[in-house]
Homo-oligomer: A and B are copies of this chain.
Amino acid sequence: MGVKNVGIRDVAKLAGVSVTTVSHVLNDTPQMRVAPETRARVREAAETLGYGPNRAARALRTNRSGLIGLLSEEIATTPHAGRIILGAQDAAREHDLTLVIINAERGPHDAAHREEVQTLIDRQVEAVLYATMYHRRVSLPPNLQGVPAVLIDSTDRAGIVPAVVPDEVGGAVAAVTHLVEAGHRRIAFLNNDDDVPATHERLVGFRQVLGEHGIPIDESLIVQSPSETLPGYALAREVLARHDRPTALFCYNDRMAMGAYRAAAELGLDIPNDLSIVGFDNQELIAANLFPGLTTVALPHYEMGAWAVETLVHLLRGEAEYKLLADKPTRLDCPLVVRGSVAAPRDR
């Protein structure tokens, strides 16, 4: 029997007041002045009885379920979704909101997860968080109209829904700066070849840092492949086979970096002394288990989840404007996580 059978009237009786007063006190109803002495009595009564509100009754009365839906792609595949959940959950608890999570398979192209959104709506959530597994642009399902929503790790093609995404440029800047400051000047960028924001923006960051440091950009050191381990390996082999091989590799993600580790091992190159490597994503399972540990850039999944709930709450309370937020996605920091894969280049 979850919460016991104590109701607001039991508390009222014990405190010797009316249910109204109890309600006012327990909810801190604004503009309702209750004698401090009465407040205390009510609080105490509630405490001794172990009173907890019946959420169904409250929801019925106020027409607010206290539920927030989180639609997340591929919960099971990477820990990224987990961190979003965590961030969202902590923020939700802060506001006494309950998070209802629903998984969505990453569909063939742009299925938009109409059905999953509907499930959430049927559950009477007050708002929905829509989280994708990697930073991209999406078209929202039509039934998401009419429910307050916030996008996590993606932006709305229609530009109508508030969104929060990683600061990809900033992350790349942090990574490459780290390399440059270690003394590297010949740095290859093993980039992804998908047409997604991360591909373009990380490249922008890469160029920016070299530019700022007056390092000429060797275009042949910017190479692309699918962002998997094996293609990353192949790319690394290629780039490291050159007689003027780079002293450092900036990899689009940790999986490609994992491939680069293998390439280095096969070529007898010691990491970090013969070759420095920086990844992106901070996938613990990979980054922390490689040897030496992979220095990489963390995606702000936790923070995005928290930001999204926080924003939703403001939106629901009418304290924030949709248009203002939807206008331009909020970008959150991608901090560098230093492990052991970067050192000064052996010689100049």
Contact = CB atoms under 8 A, between A and B. Distances in A.
Contacts of A99: 100-101
A123 B100 contact: no
A289 B78 contact: no
A229 interface: yes
A208 interface: no
Given A2-B146, A76-B86, 6 more contacts: A2-B125, A2-B147, A233-B291, A285-B286, A286-B286, A286-B289
Interface string A91-105: 001000011111100
Contacts of A314: none
Interface in A55-82: 55-57, 59-60, 65, 75-79, 81-82
Number of copies: 2
A102 B82 CA distance: 11
A76 B65 contact: no
A88 B91 CA distance: 24
A154 interface: no
Interface in A225-251: 228-230, 233
A87 to B, nearest CB: 9
A283 interface: yes
